[in-house]
Amino acid sequence: MIRLAVCGLEESRIDEIARRIRGANVARLADLSADEVTRIECDAVACFGSDPPDIQFIANTIQAGRHMLIARDVMPSLADLKSLIEQANTKGVHIRVENPDHGLPSRRLIFDELRGSKLGQVGLIRSHRWESTPGLRSVDTFHLPAPLVRDLELMLWLTDQTPTVVFAAEHSAQQGDTRGTIHVHLGFADGGMVLMDYADCLLPGDGYQSLSTICANGAMYVDDHPNRQLAYLGGLAQATPTNEGVLPFVTLIQQFVTGLNAHSPIESGVARWEQTCALAESVRQSLDRRSPVAFDSSVHFPDQALQGSV
């Protein structure tokens, strides 16, 4: 039985996760400094949370021979990720980097339907993420809000293809303010497209997320505020929001634990993040130039991209 420690979540949520995971004993990882990580009595660590990850803590965990699942809202830089993968390969441990949104049942349902070809060819995917607090900026050179970068990765995950053209525009809430709105258009060779709206300048209160997919044979839609505020006026929304609870964490952890128990190769996920960073760089170029930018996946995503520990 794998001993798995979880960090970055409330103790009550970890207790609920522990009751649902098969093939592992799950416990909460107490707050430790990077130098104290060798005291962890476990086989693997799952790292969640909204803050930027402690790279030294992750590196020391790997050096201590622990497998790692990293699914944080703000990802390490691509250079740090590649370094961590190399360290994991040297130590013979597995490391998995995951967009936490992959665990959302609503997103996984769309993913499964797209992969099963039930919906047919993608015509349009439209994503809205509107928040009242400024998103932490990514640490890479493109310097975009971390939630927007996660959404770019989510689009690559859902479509399983790379765009050929990127066009982005932004508008600041006030002059000199880092908050505002960013609109991203991704065009694909087969005629499909992705439209993304990101805003972090709403009035205080609940945020809003939605994702709609229109395909040749059908459409799917997910909204975290069903039948709620047609106009956003701030404050607490009046209806009860949908809540997927701990299911996203359970899904990601169970996949990781199942792979470890099967002693099968576990892809690191860094290859898609490398692709995402290249796409984010193109978004930044389009914003700076105020014009469309061609995206060549053969240049941005070479075959020799790291695939992770095996």
Please tell me the distance from the alpha carbon of residue 295 to that of residue 279, in angstroms, as a whole number: 8
Bridge partner residues of 172 (DSSP): 180
| DSSP output for 41-102 | -SSEEEE--SSPP-HHHHHHHHHTT-EEEE--SSPPPHHHHHHHHHHHHHHT--EEE--GGG
β-strands 165-172, 293-294: how paired?
A: antiparallel
**pLDDT one digit per residue (tens) for the chain, 310 residues:** 899 999 889 989 999 999 999 999 998 876 666 666 677 789 999 999 888 888 998 999 999 999 999 999 888 888 899 999 999 999 999 999 999 999 988 888 889 889 887 788 899 999 999 887 776 666 566 888 889 999 999 999 999 999 999 999 998 866 656 678 999 999 999 999 999 999 988 777 777 888 989 988 888 888 776 544 333 345 554 444 445 689 999 999 999 999 999 988 788 888 889 999 999 999 999 999 999 999 976 655 433 333 333 2
Residues sharing a CB contact under 8 Å with residue 117, sequence separation 6 or more, in sequence order: none
**CB 63 within 8 Å of CB 40:** no
Three-class secondary structure of residue 209 per DSSP: strand
CATH for the 2-99+248-268 domain, from 3.40.50.970, 3.40.50.720, 3.90.1170.30, 1.10.357.10: 3.40.50.720
φ/ψ (deg, to 5) at 162: -105, 145
Q: What is the pLDDT of residue 287?
A: 94
The CATH class for the domain spanning 102-239+277-299 reads alpha beta
Residue 104 CA, distance from chain mean position:
10
Give residue limits of the domains in the chain. 2-99+248-268, 102-239+277-299
User: Between the CA of residue 72 and those of 32, 47, 108, 116, 298, what are the distances in Å?
Assistant: 17, 7, 18, 28, 28
Please tell me the distance from the alpha carbon of residue 42 to that of residue 44, in angstroms, as a whole number: 6
Token readout for 260 is 């470890």
Q: What is the pLDDT of residue 301?
A: 45
